[in-house]
Amino acid sequence: MKYEYLDNCVPLQPEIATPLPAEAEVVIIGGGIMGICAAYELAAAGVKNVVVIERDELGSGSSAKPLGGVRATFSDPGNIVLGRRSLDTFERLTQEGHDIGLKQVGYLFLCRTDSELAAVESSTRVQNSLGCNSRMISPSEAFELNPFLNADALVGGSFSPRDGYAQPSKVVAVYAQAATELGVRVLEHTEVVGLEADADSVNVHTNRGTCRAAHIVIAAGAWSTRLGEMVGVHLPIEPVRRQIGFTPQAAGPHPIVPFTLDLSTTLYFHNHRNGMLLGISNEEQPGFQRSFSYNWVDEFNAAAEIIAPTLAHQPLEAGWAGLYENTPDHNAMIGRDPRDPRILYATGFSGHGFLQGPAVGELIRDIYLERESFLDPSSFSAGRFAGEEARLAELHII
- Same domain, yes or no: 155 and 243: yes
Q: What is the pLDDT of residue 388?
A: 53
**Apex 212 CA angle, 209 and 216, nearest 5:** 110
Q: What is the pLDDT of residue 64?
A: 55
- Same domain, yes or no: 173 and 319: no
Indicate if the alpha-carbon torsion angle 361, 365, 368, 371 is positive or negative. negative
Q: What is the pLDDT of residue 6?
A: 34
- Same domain, yes or no: 142 and 198: no
179 lies in some domain: yes
Last residue of a domain, one of 326, 341, 367: 326
Last residue of a domain, one of 326, 357, 377: 326
9 strand-pairing partners: 6
Q: Is 108 helix (H, G, I), strand (E, B) or coil?
A: strand
253 HSE (CA, 13 A, CB side): 7
pTM above 0.95, yes or no: no
Q: What is the pLDDT of residue 390?
A: 55
- Same domain, yes or no: 339 and 292: no
94 lies in some domain: no
Last residue of a domain, one of 293, 311, 326: 326
Q: Is 390 helix (H, G, I), strand (E, B) or coil?
A: coil
Give the single-character DSSP code of 58.
B
2 lies in some domain: no
CATH of the domain at 378: 3.50.50.60
362 HSE (CA, 13 A, CB side): 15
- Same domain, yes or no: 43 and 176: yes
Query: Would you tell me the crossing angle of helices 114-129 and 77-95 to the nearest 10 degrees?
Result: 60
Find, among 337, 341, 335, 342, the residue nearest to 214 by Cα: 342
Q: How many helices (H) and strands (E) does the chain have?
A: 8, 18
315 lies in some domain: yes
36 lies in some domain: yes
- Same domain, yes or no: 124 and 186: no
- Same domain, yes or no: 308 and 243: yes
- Same domain, yes or no: 360 and 314: no
Q: What is the pLDDT of residue 391?
A: 58
How many angstroms from the chain centroid is the CA of residue 178?
A: 20
Judge whether 213 and 26 are in contact, CB under 8 Å.
yes
391 lies in some domain: no
Number of domains in the chain: 2
Ordered per-residue pLDDT tens for the chain, 398 residues: 343 333 444 444 443 467 999 999 999 999 999 999 999 999 999 999 999 999 999 987 655 555 789 999 999 999 999 999 999 999 999 999 999 999 999 999 999 999 999 999 999 999 999 999 999 999 999 999 999 999 999 999 999 999 999 999 999 999 999 999 999 999 999 999 999 999 999 999 999 999 999 999 999 999 999 999 999 999 999 999 999 999 999 988 899 999 999 999 999 999 999 999 999 999 888 999 889 999 999 999 999 999 999 999 999 999 999 999 999 999 999 999 999 999 999 999 999 999 999 999 999 999 999 999 999 999 999 999 986 555 567 777 77
Alpha helices per DSSP H over 193-260? 224-230
132 lies in some domain: yes
- Same domain, yes or no: 342 and 381: yes
- Same domain, yes or no: 211 and 354: yes
- Same domain, yes or no: 138 and 193: no
**Apex 97 CA angle, 92 and 99, nearest 5:** 95
Q: What is the pLDDT of residue 397?
A: 72
- Same domain, yes or no: 151 and 194: no
CATH of the domain at 297: 3.30.9.10
76 lies in some domain: no
What lies within 8 Å, CB to CB, of 387 at 6+ separation is none
Taking the C-alpha atoms of residue 348 and residue 280, their distance in angstroms, rounded to an integer, is: 20
Strand (E) positions, the chain?
Answer: 23-29, 50-53, 69-70, 107-111, 135-137, 156-160, 164-165, 185-187, 192-197, 202-206, 209-218, 238-246, 259-262, 267-272, 275-280, 318-326, 333-336, 343-347
Which domain covers residue 320, as residue numbers? 107-161+239-326
